[in-house]
Amino acid sequence: MRPSTPERLKASLQDWLEIKETGEGLACCADEMIEQIQAKLAVLEPLLDELAAQGMGFTLKHCQHDAWGMICPDASEPGRYRWQAFRRDGFTGHSTFDSSEQCLGDLVDDGYTLPDPGALDRLADTVEWQRGMEVVAVIQACNAGRMSYEDALRAREAIDARYASGTAR
């Protein structure tokens, strides 16, 4: 039931409370499910308020590793929104939805729960980011058929060598 929304979570919570009360079906799992849903609601609802206050560019850090997701308008699908994933070494992917709130719910579902304003600006000024974005450009060129796989491997090796020697930047 992704992405999570308060409405969906509250409906699911009600369902699990009824299952627990009747003792039918998966009642043995009800307490665990109720706890998980309540915990997710406790995270999602305040983040929705922060998203409403901050708007586009709202950025969350993953709760377990160095990864971020930023909510923004989707440039390839006007009128829709995406959450753009990135790590210290560049962009890693995106997911597109009809609303910024759905983006936020999907981010929370994936473990992005810690607001981190300015993360992209901080990372984009690093050598690690610059190198990673060069690699992303090679991958995109290969995926688009503008470069063979063998040429992409050579280009990646050249990037690695340039950064290892300290001549890049």
Q: Which residues contact 149 (CB under 8 A, 6 or more apart)?
A: 142
Q: Which residues contact 107 (CB under 8 A, 6 or more apart)?
A: 60, 69, 71, 83, 113
Q: Which residue has the tokens 């969906």?
A: 8
**pLDDT classification of 146: cutoffs 50, 70, 90:** very high
CA angle 96, 101, 106 (to 5 degrees): 55
* Beta bridge mates, 115: 60
Q: Which residue has the tokens 């995406």?
A: 82
**Which among 6, 7, 86 is positioned nearest to 47, based on CA atoms?**
6
Report d(CA 62, CA 59) in Å as an integer. Answer: 10
Report d(CA 14, CA 33) in Å as an integer. Answer: 11
Residue 31: exposure state from Cβ atoms within 10 A (0-12, 13-18, ≥19): exposed
User: For 27-80, how does the pLDDT look when each residue is reduced to its tens digit (9 = 90+)?
Assistant: 899 999 999 999 999 999 999 999 999 999 999 999 999 999 999 999 999 999
Structure-token pair, residue 78: 């006007």
User: For 68-103, how does the pLDDT look when each residue is reduced to its tens digit (9 = 90+)?
Assistant: 999 999 999 999 999 999 999 999 999 999 999 999
Report d(CA 76, CA 159) in Å as an integer. Answer: 29
**pTM for this one?**
0.85
pLDDT higher than threshold 80 for residue 169: no
Structure-token pair, residue 8: 């969906």
